[in-house]
């Protein structure tokens, strides 16, 4: 009973502290709220309100009269300026390459597309050409989108030219239609073009005749929205774990604060066993983290639509996190002499272990980060926060009880170790 | 131990490596009395009562509190005592009522008995009207009253008070001393530490004087004063520091002891009426003027001075 | 003079707390390295392309070989051969992000494709991840080129068969396969390419072509984002110490004592401000030095521009620290305010993730924050290679912020 009294007293004090409440709830929710806001949470039904990429186009293409009215350069420009892409690209035509590059340098545009003078000629005739994308080196997303569309067109022309060239060359080599190479070229070109058009139309209808794509993630109707949600969910769990450990450290520090304030020695003069006193304080740490996690899980689900996974694995992940965070906080506190040391130790140790532990959260939004994810994942498992994150991500990725058992076992084992060391140190200190 | 011995301290030692904080002290506190441990800062008083309160483990020796040994039955000891620490030990973010309720639970009180007792202590300490206020906002005096009130919740047989009047205003001090006497009148045994001679004199049935970890004198006020007999204490100030006048006074008939402290000279003499003229004469002969004279009848200050050669307030 | 004495007193108090000083330097360095290492794909410096599993169940058929060649030539992905693995294991590797994706060539794929029947490659990716999307696109490009090659070869073969001489099935098949091979080989040097260029750190506006055909923009230093970001973020975090100093001065009543001396209120505020400013300048200088010498972030390519940004950034940060110290009543409040400011300003300002990845609304609001302007200014120097004129606007905005924050602190201090 006295153990509960002590725990309740500590909980009362914790939840009255504005400082503690800010770190328990405000900062993690604020951080995720910022991400939610960043990735279009206020975009309403339209979802992700990605800013249109500003593009400067310079079409230097001068097709010869032999190509009639056809201009590959114009075709490319028309595609970029098409209605379909108006939500993604904001295209303006520049007077020349220098002006276009200057616009990029002045950050008036993200990328300049410079179509060379011999583009049509290279596409349909002899020679080669390169479409230049002059981009802002600090940007990746917008220029990446532009490159993707431009590459499609360029690849299409290149494909047709390769097809025609190789096919005619082969046939002529075999003595077929040597005299009528031009007609043959037209024939192959037409047939290939028809094939490419059919392929393109199939893609536009939503089918993929070439690939059967099986997604391992929880993709929504639109890839962008699910990516956004994934970033948000990953960030939320990362922040929750990061701040759970901070809260545990702060709550455990109450042992030192009470020692200095004299109320802990006073407690020792009452007929209350030392184990009850310590047990009550540790119980308070445990319950504080539990409340924090539950509140954050609920608010994140309701406000940000975070899908946490199945209930039982979620409960197990919660148990693992609460035990591990509480015990790590107790362990760290047991190493300190007084509250003067807590600032640097908690601030430094918690920030370093926390950020390394949740570092894989930061790679979620980076396209070329598969190797980076691996590096981050490996590093993170050196930290207790990393194991907590691993367990929660298993659950959030749809894992069941059996999937979460290994990370849970590690969390509980680490937790037990930290707890035992921490308690032994405290008992020795207060003996 | 006789039935009216509340606390028996037996050959208590406490050392930290080579530092000896308490060296083999022994004394008895009778049930129902006020017992003071008197001594300057660093004498070992707080260390002694920390051991009695089961906060510190003695290096050697034992203490028995109403039949419970601090070594073998600390819980029994703690149930019988209430401790008022020197520094205020309250939860400043809790209200007065919340503090008392919590501490009452730690002392084993529950339910309506706890509520009733909390109300009583709030009345006793004069904090009933401020019971819901955060103690962090209380004045120093209010905090001190609450600090004492906590120790009274479970109606302890023995109240241990560690220098409860340090650093407070005279009015609050007066209130505390009166409260101590009242609690004692109601039957509580009180073990009181202080470095104020007047407090020990006013309150105590028995006094133990400590210095450098040792118990150098023990007894009632009158018994202790007997150590210095009928000796008077004269405090003098002279116009100029003079080794020769001090030497003369040391050898003056009737002077037992001279110590210098902060520009004043303290002398223990047989009869100030007889010795004082001799002192004036010696001073004149030495070319020194006596600028102020204070005569005190035998008291604990004199006892301490006699036993240690230092003033109690050194 | 008294102002300088006050500043020196503050600096002495701060420097004596060597742990705090270490924290202010060690933390940003550590996190710059951490984030730079993570985002540099440190595990595979030689080939930064996304690893994509390649599971050939078609027994090394001609299309399997050609697809492998096309993937090897890709600028986005690189194939990683998988031997005899079952689909579940492949899916696990993709889920665990060991692979960005995987392509499985089903048994009989080549036969069906050459027979003109429907046949698709199986692609396993996490479409909810950016890496997965990129991997899928890379495989799509290779698959389109492969099937284009098949189409070409079939067209040519059909023409070949229709030619007057009858050569037999095997000759026709040989012709088809040879044509197929030549088309795939031709993709190694396509006639039309996309070249990506950007201005390197150097003269303003001068573009240097980094590469042709392939995107070499990834060769730019990954620390050009994390270095200024962590520097800016931790300079705000460092305000905790400075703000606490002011709080402690108030609590210990030495502030009140100061107010009874002949130093004016403005002098007191200025003295504290000077101490905070010097600390931040030293912090920035050391971090810039570290980034320049160790991380290869070229702040010194434009020293005047860097100096201007350093000064402007230090001024607004110091003003913020002063305001926090004046407003906070306890050490806990000082920590709370500073931490909240650090998170909000860093997130909104693009220190955690480039603002280009966020929504339009967020970007607009983000640019109301001084941190966004600070990032812009520093990135103009280290990433865009621009000079003094490019940092005038960001520096100007930061100085305006400094003025406003300082004025607020001074106004609030009137009531001290």
Instruction: Give the model confidence (pLDDT) of A47-91 as tens digits.
Output: 456 678 899 999 999 888 888 888 889 999 998 998 888 888 899
Confidence of residue C200 (pLDDT cuts 50, 70, 90): low
pLDDT given for residue A364 in this prediction:
60
pLDDT given for residue C415 in this prediction:
67
pLDDT given for residue C124 in this prediction:
93
Q: Residue B303: inside a domain, yes or no?
A: no
| CATH number of the domain within which B288 lies | 3.30.70.100
pLDDT given for residue B311 in this prediction:
67
Q: Under an 8 A CB cutoff, do A271 and B108 touch?
A: yes
Instruction: Give the model confidence (pLDDT) of B280-311 as tens digits.
Output: 998 888 888 888 998 887 778 778 877 877 76
What number of helices (H) and strands (E) belong to chain A? 18, 5
| Contact status of C99 with chain A (Cβ, < 8 Å) | yes
Q: Which residue of A has its CA nearest to C184?
A: A162
Instruction: Report in angstroms the alpha-carbon separations of A343 from A5, A338, C28, C241, C369.
Output: 29, 10, 17, 10, 28
Extents of the domains making up chain C: 2-39+222-413, 51-186
Nearest CB to C384 within list A136, A140, A165: A136
Q: Under an 8 A CB cutoff, do A165 and C186 touch?
A: yes
Q: Under an 8 A CB cutoff, do A370 and C135 touch?
A: yes
- Of B225, B242, B276, the residue at which a domain comes to its end is B225
pLDDT given for residue A179 in this prediction:
66
* Residue B244: domain span: 230-297
pLDDT given for residue A344 in this prediction:
66
| Contact status of B94 with chain A (Cβ, < 8 Å) | yes
Confidence of residue C216 (pLDDT cuts 50, 70, 90): very low
Joined tokens for residue A406: 């290994």
* pLDDT above 90 (res C209): no
Which residues from chain C sit within 8 angstroms of residue A90, using beta carbons?
none
- To the nearest whole percent, how much of chain A has pLDDT over 90? 37
How big is the CA angle at B135 (ends C249 and B152), to the nearest 5 degrees?
135
Cβ neighbours for C30, distance < 8 A, ≥ 6 positions apart: A352
pLDDT given for residue A45 in this prediction:
44
User: Is residue B12 domain-shared with residue B108, that is, in the same domain?
Assistant: yes
- Name C56's bridge partners: C105
User: Is residue B134 domain-shared with residue B259, that is, in the same domain?
Assistant: no
Across the A/B interface, how many CB contacts are shorter than 8 Å? 59
* Least Cα separation, residue A250 to chain B (angstroms): 16
Confidence of residue C166 (pLDDT cuts 50, 70, 90): low
Asked if residue C227 lies in contact with residue C382, where contact means CB atoms within 8 angstroms, the answer is yes
Q: Under an 8 A CB cutoff, do B81 and A269 touch?
A: yes
| Contact status of A12 with chain B (Cβ, < 8 Å) | yes
How big is the CA angle at A168 (ends A164 and A172), to the nearest 5 degrees?
175
CATH class name, domain A50-201: alpha beta
| CATH number of the domain within which B144 lies | 3.40.50.300
User: Is residue B34 domain-shared with residue B149, that is, in the same domain?
Assistant: yes
pLDDT given for residue A395 in this prediction:
93
Find the range with the poorest average confidence among A196-205, B142-151, C209-218: C209-218
Confidence of residue A222 (pLDDT cuts 50, 70, 90): very low
Q: Which residue of C has its CA nearest to A99?
A: C205
pLDDT in tens, chain B (314 residues): 445 899 999 999 999 888 999 999 999 999 999 999 998 888 999 999 999 998 888 999 999 999 999 999 988 998 999 999 888 888 888 899 999 998 999 888 999 999 999 999 999 898 999 999 999 899 888 999 899 999 999 999 999 999 998 888 888 888 889 989 999 999 999 999 998 888 888 999 999 999 999 999 999 888 888 776 677 888 888 887 667 788 888 888 889 888 887 778 888 888 888 899 999 998 888 888 888 998 887 778 778 877 877 766 64
Among residues B121, B81, B123, B84, the alpha carbon closest in space to that of B101 is found at B121
CA contacts within 13 A on the Cβ side of B311: 15
Find the range with the poorest average confidence among A132-136, A209-213, C34-38: C34-38
Phi and psi torsions of B142, nearest 5°: -65, -40
Instruction: Report in angstroms the alpha-carbon separations of C341 from A279, A350, A413, C234, C243.
Output: 36, 19, 37, 11, 13
pLDDT given for residue C208 in this prediction:
33
pLDDT given for residue A115 in this prediction:
95
Find the range with the poorest average confidence among A5-14, A152-161, A257-266, B243-252: B243-252
User: Is residue B33 domain-shared with residue B94, that is, in the same domain?
Assistant: yes
Nearest CB to A216 within list C124, C190, C333: C124
Mean per-residue pLDDT of chain A:
85
- Determine the residue among A8, A271, A277, A427 to mutate to test chain B binding: the one whose Cβ has the most chain B Cβ atoms within 10 Å: A271
* Least Cα separation, residue A289 to chain C (angstroms): 19
Question: What pTM did the predictor assign?
Answer: 0.73
What are the start-end ranges of the H helices in A58-118? Answer: 72-80, 97-105
Q: What is the mean pLDDT of residues A220-248?
A: 74
Nearest CB to A159 within list C26, C34, C148: C148
| Contact status of A273 with chain B (Cβ, < 8 Å) | yes
Rounded to an integer, what distance in angstroms lies between the CA atom of residue A183 and that of residue C207?
43
Give A103-124 as a DSSP string: HHHTTS-SEEEEE-TTHHHHHH
Mean per-residue pLDDT of chain C:
82
Fold of C51-186: D-Maltodextrin-Binding Protein; domain 2 (3.40.190)
User: Is residue B23 domain-shared with residue B39, that is, in the same domain?
Assistant: yes
Rounded to an integer, what distance in angstroms lies between the CA atom of residue A208 and that of residue A222?
16
pLDDT given for residue C340 in this prediction:
83
Tell me, what DSSP letter sits at residue A137? T
Confidence of residue A44 (pLDDT cuts 50, 70, 90): very low
| Contact status of A139 with chain C (Cβ, < 8 Å) | yes
* Least Cα separation, residue A353 to chain C (angstroms): 11
Cβ neighbours for B111, distance < 8 A, ≥ 6 positions apart: none
* pLDDT above 90 (res A291): yes
Rounded to an integer, what distance in angstroms lies between the CA atom of residue B231 and that of residue B254?
9
Asked if residue A87 lies in contact with residue A145, where contact means CB atoms within 8 angstroms, the answer is no
- To the nearest whole percent, how much of chain C has pLDDT over 90? 31
The total of structural domains in chain B comes to 2
Which residues from chain C sit within 8 angstroms of residue A253, using beta carbons?
none
């Amino acid at each position: 009973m006295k153990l509960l009294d002590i725990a309740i007293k500590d909980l009362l004090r914790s939840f009255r502290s504005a400082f503690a409440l800010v770190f328990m709830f405000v900062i993690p929710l604020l951080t995720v709220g910022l991400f939610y806001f960043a990735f279009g949470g206020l975009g309403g039904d339209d979802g992700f309100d990605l800013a249109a990429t500003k593009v400067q186009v310079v079409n230097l293409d001068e097709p010869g009269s032999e190509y009639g009215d056809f201009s590959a350069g114009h075709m490319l420009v028309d595609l970029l300026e098409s209605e379909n892409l108006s939500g993604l690209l904001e295209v303006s035509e520049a007077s020349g390459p220098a002006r276009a590059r200057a616009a990029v340098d002045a950050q008036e545009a993200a990328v300049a597309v410079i179509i060379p003078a011999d583009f049509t000629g290279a596409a349909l005739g002899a020679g080669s050409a390169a479409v230049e994308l002059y981009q802002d080196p600090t940007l990746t997303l917008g220029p990446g989108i532009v490159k993707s569309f431009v590459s499609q067109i360029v690849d299409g022309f290149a494909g047709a030219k390769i097809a025609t060239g190789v096919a005619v060359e082969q046939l002529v080599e075999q003595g077929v239609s040597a005299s009528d190479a031009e007609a043959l070229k037209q024939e192959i070109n037409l047939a290939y073009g028809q094939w490419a058009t059919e392929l393109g139309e199939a893609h536009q209808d939503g089918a993929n005749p070439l690939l059967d794509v099986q997604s391992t993630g929880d993709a929504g109707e639109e890839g962008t929205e699910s990516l956004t949600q994934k970033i948000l969910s990953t960030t939320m769990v990362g922040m929750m774990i990061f701040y759970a450990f901070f809260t545990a450290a702060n709550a455990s520090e109450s042992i030192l604060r009470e020692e200095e304030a004299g109320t802990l020695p006073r407690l020792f003069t009452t007929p209350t066993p030392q184990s009850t006193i310590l047990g009550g304080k540790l119980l308070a740490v445990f319950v504080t983290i539990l409340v924090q996690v539950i509140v954050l899980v609920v608010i994140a689900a309701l406000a940000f639509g975070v899908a946490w996974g199945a209930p039982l694995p979620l409960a197990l992940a919660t148990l693992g996190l609460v035990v591990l965070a509480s015990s790590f906080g107790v362990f760290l506190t047991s190493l300190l002499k007084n509250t003067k040391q807590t600032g640097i130790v908690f601030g430094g140790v918690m920030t370093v272990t926390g950020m390394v532990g949740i570092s894989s959260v930061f790679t979620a939004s980076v396209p070329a980060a598969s190797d980076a994810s691996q590096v981050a994942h490996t590093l993170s498992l050196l930290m207790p926060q990393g194991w907590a994150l691993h367990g929660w991500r298993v659950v959030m990725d749809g894992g069941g009880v059996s999937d979460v058992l290994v990370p849970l076992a590690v969390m509980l084992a680490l937790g037990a170790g930290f707890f035992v060391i921490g308690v032994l140190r405290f008992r020795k200190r207060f003996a | 131990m006789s039935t009216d011995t509340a606390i028996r301290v037996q050959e208590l030692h406490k050392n930290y490596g080579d530092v000896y904080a308490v060296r083999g002290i022994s004394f008895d506190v009778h049930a129902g009395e006020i017992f003071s441990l008197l001594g300057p800062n660093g004498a070992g008083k707080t260390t002694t009562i920390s051991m009695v309160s089961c906060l510190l483990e003695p290096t050697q020796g034992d203490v028995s509190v109403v039949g419970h040994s601090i070594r073998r039955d600390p819980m029994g000891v703690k149930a019988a005592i209430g401790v008022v620490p020197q520094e205020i030990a309250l939860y400043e973010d809790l209200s007065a009522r919340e503090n008392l309720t919590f501490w009452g639970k730690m002392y084993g009180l529950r339910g309506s008995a706890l509520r009733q007792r909390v109300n009583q202590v709030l009345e006793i300490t004069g904090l009933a009207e401020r019971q819901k206020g955060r103690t962090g906002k209380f004045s120093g005096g209010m905090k001190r009253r609450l600090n004492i009130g906590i120790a009274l919740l479970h109606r302890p047989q023995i109240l241990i008070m560690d220098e409860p009047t340090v650093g407070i205003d005279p009015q609050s001090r007066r209130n505390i001393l009166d409260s101590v006497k009242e609690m004692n009148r109601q039957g509580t045994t009180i073990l009181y530490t202080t470095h104020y001679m007047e407090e020990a004199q006013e309150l105590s049935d028995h006094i133990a004087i400590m210095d450098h970890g040792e118990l150098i004198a023990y007894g009632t006020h009158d018994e202790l004063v007997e150590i210095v007999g009928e000796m008077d204490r004269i405090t003098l100030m002279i116009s100029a520091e003079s080794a020769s006048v001090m030497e003369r006074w040391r050898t003056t008939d009737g002077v037992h002891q001279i110590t210098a402290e902060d520009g004043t000279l303290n002398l223990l003499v047989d009869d100030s009426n007889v010795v004082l003229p001799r002192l004036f004469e010696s001073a004149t002969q030495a070319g020194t003027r006596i600028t102020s004279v204070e005569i005190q009848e035998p008291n604990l200050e004199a006892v301490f001075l006699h036993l240690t050669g230092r003033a109690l307030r050194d | 003079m008294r102002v300088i004495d006050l500043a020196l007193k503050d600096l002495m108090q701060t420097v004596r707390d060597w742990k705090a000083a270490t924290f202010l330097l060690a933390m940003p360095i550590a996190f710059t390295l951490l984030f730079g290492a993570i985002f540099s794909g440190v595990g595979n410096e030689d080939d930064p392309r996304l690893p994509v599993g390649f599971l050939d169940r078609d027994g090394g058929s001609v299309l399997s070989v050609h697809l492998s060649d096309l993937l090897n030539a890709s600028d986005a992905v690189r194939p990683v051969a998988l031997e005899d693995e079952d689909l579940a294991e492949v899916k696990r590797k993709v889920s665990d992000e060991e692979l960005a994706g995987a392509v499985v060539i089903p048994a009989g794929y080549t036969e069906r494709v050459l027979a003109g029947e429907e046949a698709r490659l199986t692609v396993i990716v996490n479409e909810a991840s950016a890496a997965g999307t990129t991997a899928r696109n890379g495989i799509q490009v290779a698959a389109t080129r492969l099937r284009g090659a098949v189409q070409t070869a079939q067209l040519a073969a059909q023409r070949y068969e229709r030619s007057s001489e009858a050569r037999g099935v095997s000759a026709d098949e040989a012709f088809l396969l040879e044509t197929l091979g030549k088309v795939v080989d031709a993709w190694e040097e396509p006639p039309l390419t996309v070249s990506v260029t950007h201005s390197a750190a150097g003269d303003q506006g001068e573009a240097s072509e980094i590469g042709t055909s392939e995107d070499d923009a990834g060769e730019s230093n990954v620390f050009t984002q994390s270095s200024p970001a962590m520097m800016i973020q931790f300079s705000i975090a460092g305000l905790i110490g400075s703000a606490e100093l002011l709080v402690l001065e108030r609590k210990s009543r030495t502030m009140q004592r100061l107010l009874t001396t002949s130093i004016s209120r403005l002098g007191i505020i200025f003295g504290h401000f000077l101490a905070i400013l010097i600390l931040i300048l030293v912090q920035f200088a050391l971090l810039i030095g570290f980034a320049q010498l160790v991380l290869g972030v070229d702040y010194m390519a434009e020293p005047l521009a860097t100096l201007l940004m350093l000064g402007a950034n230090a001024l607004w940060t110091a003003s913020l620290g002063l305001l926090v110290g004046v407003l906070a009543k306890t050490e806990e409040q000082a920590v709370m305010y500073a931490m909240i400011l650090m998170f909000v300003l860093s997130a909104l300002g693009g220190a955690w993730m480039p603002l280009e990845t966020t929504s339009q609304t967020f970007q607009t609001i983000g640019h109301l924050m001084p941190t966004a302007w600070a990032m812009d200014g520093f990135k103009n120097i280290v990433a865009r290679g621009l000079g003094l004129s490019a940092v005038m606007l960001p520096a100007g905005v930061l100085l305006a912020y400094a003025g406003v924050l300082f004025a607020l602190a001074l106004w609030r201090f009137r009531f001290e």
